[in-house]
Chains A and B, each alone.
Chain A
Amino acid sequence: MAIKKDRSELPTSKPKAGGGWQPDEETIFGPLLINAFKEMEGERPDKERHYVSPSNALSCARQLSYRAAGTPGKPMEPSGWWVTSLGKFVHRVLEDALLDEFGPEGCTPEAMIGTKVPLLDDEHAPQCEQCQRQMVADIAEWYCEFHPDESAPMKYRVEPEILTLTVMVDGEPTQVDVPIIGYGDIWIHTDEISKVTDYKTVGGYGYKMAIGERGEAEGPKRDALFQAAIGARFFGARDVSVVNLARDALSVAIAQRKGFDEWRRFISEWTVPLDSIVEEVEAELVRMWRVNRLWHEEGLLAARRVPGVPVEISNPKTGGWAQKEEVDGKERLVASGEFWGCSYCAWQDSCIAAGPGRVPLPNGTTQDDPGAGT
């Protein structure tokens, strides 16, 4: 009798349309879960920005313009809520664990670049001269023995911190004041360790590429490294690091084949000295600020330029770009590609409508119009 090899763990070669056990048409649990995440995290309204944010480092210049203008983007899809909420959950757990380990004297989670200024409107002002302000976690409350029940959490606005940089602009050393608001995920400042770290939860494929499960290890995304580096530059930390956390652990079989230990199946860290990238990081801060000024001072959106992509993106629907050069008197295509970010951009439709190059917003809106960009 022939011996049958069980290969049921492998995918079938030619699935029939509608065959197999298809999932239900609709989900009961999905909307409930995502709505619960939305209530926990809250939605952030878009607003004009006269500062730059580390979390936007190395992003498309056109996208930076829309953020500067406060143009509302497409609301985040449920899948986006799922992925970002998982990331925030890991952030919170790690913050607590690091505080337990290093203590408040050794680390600062959510290290803020910016200054909180209390907003003293009627609702949040002290009720009388006796009222004292008490900080509970990160929220200030006014109270006194005469007004024990009338305390209310203070509201804040955040003032940017100004970082003065000297960078080469068109071959000339140029001093630029860059206003920044943002957070470093964790700043560790013990006698031994001086570094700012960015945590990133990443998909399984991205994680495999980063650690070298497929080909040479690519390392973490450079934008995550820059996000941490801006914090390190501001706080005066020596090192910069990125932690990648895979949303799905590598299989035991892959880990054994590659010689990865148990930790590497889901977590990897990369640390570099800030000095090794500081020039590039400062140049990026200046680029982001120039994009911001282009909108607020000249009323123009920046071109669809992405650091690392040699020319402007010509097709924001796909992220397609094509680099042409004149060879022997004829224009020839020398390189082309597709930038992945366009498909995920909340301003993709606006960007398509606005056209290429440095352009004003369509419909004649300018940076001075109330509600510009809406």
Chain B
Amino acid sequence: MDDAEYAALMRSRDRRRQRSPRVLVAVARLNGWRPTQSPPPPTIEVADLVNCY
């Protein structure tokens, strides 16, 4: 990491520290998020998909 990249990283971290509490709460929720749902079943059998052309 060169000086310019390091400075950019520090600026980015500073900006993060200045975020409002509300944004930080949203990010905390994002960090703790785990997918809980599965997508709907496919509309075509996987075995048929490769031949759908």
**A residues lining the B interface (CB < 8 Å):** 61, 64, 99-101, 103-105, 167-171, 190, 192-193, 219, 222, 225, 239, 241, 270-273, 276-277, 279-280, 283-284, 286-287, 290-291, 294, 302-303, 305-308, 358
Q: Does B31 count as interface, using CB distance less than 8 angstroms?
A: yes
A294 touches B53 (CB 8 A): yes
Interface string of B14-53 (1 = CB under 8 A from A): 0110010000000100111101011110111011011111
Q: Does B7 count as interface, using CB distance less than 8 angstroms?
A: no
Measured as residues with beta carbon below 8 angstroms from the partner, the interface class of chain B is 20 to 34
A308–B44 Cα distance when bound, in Å, is: 5
B35 touches A169 (CB 8 A): no
List the 7 closest pairs (A to B, CB-CB), nearest first.
A308-B43, A61-B53, A302-B53, A271-B35, A283-B49, A192-B31, A291-B53
B31 touches A290 (CB 8 A): no
Chain B residues near A103: list those with CB within 8 A.
9, 12-13, 16
B12 touches A290 (CB 8 A): no
Across the two chains, which residue of chain B brings its CB closest to A310?
B44
Chain A residues near B37: list those with CB within 8 A.
270-272
Chain A residues near B12: list those with CB within 8 A.
99-100, 103-104
- Given A192-B32, A193-B31, A305-B53, does the pair A276, B39 have CB atoms closer than 8 Å? yes
- Given A99-B12, A100-B12, A100-B15, does the pair A303, B53 have CB atoms closer than 8 Å? yes
A307 touches B43 (CB 8 A): yes
Chain A residues near B30: list those with CB within 8 A.
193
B53 touches A272 (CB 8 A): no
Across the two chains, which residue of chain A brings its CB closest to B41?
A280
- The listed residue (A64, A272, A306) touching B39 by CB distance below 8 A is A272
Chain B residues near A283: list those with CB within 8 A.
46-47, 49-50
Chain A's nearest CB lies how many Å from the CB of B42?
5
A225–B40 Cα distance when bound, in Å, is: 11
A279–B44 Cα distance when bound, in Å, is: 12
B49 touches A239 (CB 8 A): no
- Given A101-B16, A283-B49, does the pair A222, B39 have CB atoms closer than 8 Å? yes
Chain B residues near A276: list those with CB within 8 A.
38-39
- Given A101-B27, A287-B50, A302-B53, does the pair A273, B32 have CB atoms closer than 8 Å? no
A167 touches B50 (CB 8 A): yes
Across the two chains, which residue of chain A brings its CB closest to B43?
A308
A291–B51 Cα distance when bound, in Å, is: 9
Chain A residues near B38: list those with CB within 8 A.
272, 276
Chain B's nearest CB lies how many Å from the CB of A137?
11
Chain B's nearest CB lies how many Å from the CB of A288?
9
Chain A residues near B35: list those with CB within 8 A.
239, 241, 271-273
A294–B19 Cα distance when bound, in Å, is: 53
Interface contacts beyond A104-B9, A271-B37, A287-B49: sample of 19 additional A-B pairs, CB < 8 Å, sorted by A: A100-B12, A103-B16, A168-B50, A170-B51, A192-B32, A193-B30, A219-B39, A222-B43, A241-B35, A270-B39, A272-B37, A277-B39, A279-B46, A280-B46, A283-B50, A287-B50, A290-B50, A307-B52, A308-B44
20 contacts between A and B (CB under 8 A): A100-B16, A101-B27, A168-B47, A168-B50, A170-B51, A193-B30, A222-B42, A222-B43, A239-B35, A272-B35, A272-B38, A272-B39, A273-B35, A280-B42, A290-B50, A290-B53, A307-B44, A307-B52, A308-B44, A358-B53
Across the two chains, which residue of chain A brings its CB closest to B33?
A271
A219–B32 Cα distance when bound, in Å, is: 22
